[in-house]
Amino acid sequence: MEISKFTELFYVHLFHILIIGAFLLYIGIVKTNMPQFMYKIIFVVGMLIILIHGYKAILKYGTAKSYLWVNLLHIFIVAPILLIIGWYGSKTPYYYFHFDLMLAFAAIGYHSYFMIKELV
């Protein structure tokens, strides 16, 4: 029996489920009860998302089946929520943590579905 090789997309899904999903869940569950250094990490992650997905969006712009919408979603929805939480720290309005939880469940659900779909 031949062992199939996983595609790069499989590892993207796995990363978003295990690392990003867990990170977002932590933020949304712990809310303002996390150590102060975590807010700096959250802010840096928000900046990295803008840089990485901004670069990818520029490369993909105008190409067929580019999934540009994924990059734009990260730039205009995911990153701002993380930047706001990182910037305001323990003074962040509570509803941003609820937005974060929605992102966590969306990331875990979306990537789980497509990872399973790829395996089947």
Percent of the chain residues past pLDDT 90, beyond the cut: 82
Cβ-Cβ contacts under 8 Å for 46 (sequence gap 6 or more): 78, 79, 80, 81, 82, 83, 86
Task: Name the strand (E) or helix (H) holding 100.
Answer: helix 94-119
Q: How far is CA 22 from CA 45, 69, 106, in A?
A: 14, 23, 12
* Whole-structure pTM value: 0.91
Domain edges within the chain: 40-119
Sign of the torsion formed by the C-alpha atoms of 53, 74, 85 and 38: negative
User: Residue 66's pLDDT is what?
Assistant: 78
Tens of pLDDT, residue by residue over 40-85, are 999 999 999 999 999 999 998 988 877 899 999 999 999 999 999 9
Tens of pLDDT, residue by residue over 12-37, are 999 999 999 999 999 999 999 999 99
CA-CA distance, 28 to 34, in Å (whole number)? 10
